[in-house]
Amino acid sequence: MFAAMGIDASGEAWRVAAHEWFERRLDDPDFGIFVVEDGGVVVASAVGAIRDAAPSPSCPKGRDVLINNVCALPAYRGRGLGAAAFDAVLAWARGTGVERAELMATDGGRRIYEKAGFVVNSSLAMRAML
């Protein structure tokens, strides 16, 4: 997933932090973590996180879901496993009552997301490391 985004994923510190982050959220109702396994090995995943934000014209209830970590191991791509994990996140999100979902798409995932009704928007998002 990170390679597809052009991000250097080397290093151990972020992996340890990610493991701890996921572990703390396994029972949190505002997080939906979905995996596809093959022989006890996670081969695809998708994560949804409910966000609490001020209501706005584009999100009147103020709560939405950020979908991320949609990926499949390279040897398992093209089998629909990433799409299955993504579909599970969408079903979970709909069950929470949120009405809007957001994600960042790589070229490899864009077709799956467009099929589910996602469109590119004119977000003015910016990032900075603090």
CATH number where 38 lies: 3.40.630.30
Q: Are 45 and 69 in contact (CB under 8 A)?
A: yes
How high is the pLDDT of residue 8? 86
In a structure prediction context, what are the per-residue pLDDT tens digits for the chain, which is 130 residues long?
A: 777 777 888 888 888 998 898 899 899 999 999 999 999 999 999 999 999 988 999 889 999 999 999 999 999 999 999 999 999 999 999 999 998 999 988 888 899 999 999 998 887 777 777 8
Residue 99 carries which side chain, given as an amino acid letter?
Answer: E
Distance (Å, whole) CA 52 – CA 59:
11
How high is the pLDDT of residue 101? 94
47 falls within a domain? yes
How many Å from the N-terminal Cα to the C-terminal Cα in the chain?
24
Rg (CA), the chain: 15
Distance (Å, whole) CA 60 – CA 32:
22
125 falls within a domain? no
Range of the domain at 68: 3-115
How high is the pLDDT of residue 124? 75
How high is the pLDDT of residue 44? 96
